[in-house]
Structure 1
Amino acid sequence: MSQTPSRRLGAIVLFVASLVGFAIALYAYLTPLTGVNGSLGALVVTLACLLLALLALVLAAAKGRGGRVVCRVLILAGLAGTGFAALLLHQWWITVAMIVGLIGLVIDMNRPTASHRHAHS
């Protein structure tokens, strides 16, 4: 049974939110007068957003329950840490992107598993 895009909606939302956070963080890191240009904190947030995007792709491709659980825990920790770091950097839009990513993670957690799909078929 192939996966439809709607079943991967949470991972897609998380991926897009991570890319938006990456773009904002990269802009803040590279642009003078943002208050954080060239800072280590902005660089770390930029890299964390890239890592979250990669984890979103892994989550979308994960087949086993254990892999999805581990990936979700890592994503949750990454979203919380990146959102908090963005708050400390006064980069509110990155925090908003991480909240949208959290919504994507919740959507992904509510998708039916293979055992539920077969039981209801």
Structure 2
Amino acid sequence: MRVMVIVKATADSEKGFVRSPDTMALMEAMGKFNEELQKAGILRDGDGLKPTSEGRRVAFEGAGRTVRQGPFAPAGEQIAGFWLWDVKDMDEAVAWVKRCPNPMPGPSEIEIRPLYELADLMGESD
């Protein structure tokens, strides 16, 4: 089962990366966690995202396109980073997320979402 593990943004992450002893310690802890995911054969991809102030949104309505520049609010509804994992089931994904270092200096949240598989789209059952 493939899942996207989404690190939700916070007010801190929306300020952008600030090099400090705390952030460097967090980066080291996350690097070790990513190594564990790789050794377990789970990690397919992942990365951190720059703040929404550096992003754009393109809205579609019929043939029209409207581009909006960030920042986008509220911070907690945005994405600060992601992983793509290949796990046995949702329980395994949850177990790995519980092992993850807190990805933010303060309170944070990680969301786990399964990806569609071809069988899902073709109406096939397991």
Of structures 1 and 2, the one scoring higher in RCO (CA 8 A, sep 6+) is 2
The structure with the larger Rg is 2
TM-score normalised per structure 2: 0.34
Q: Which has the higher strand share?
A: 2
Q: Which has the higher helix share?
A: 1
TM-score normalised per structure 1: 0.34
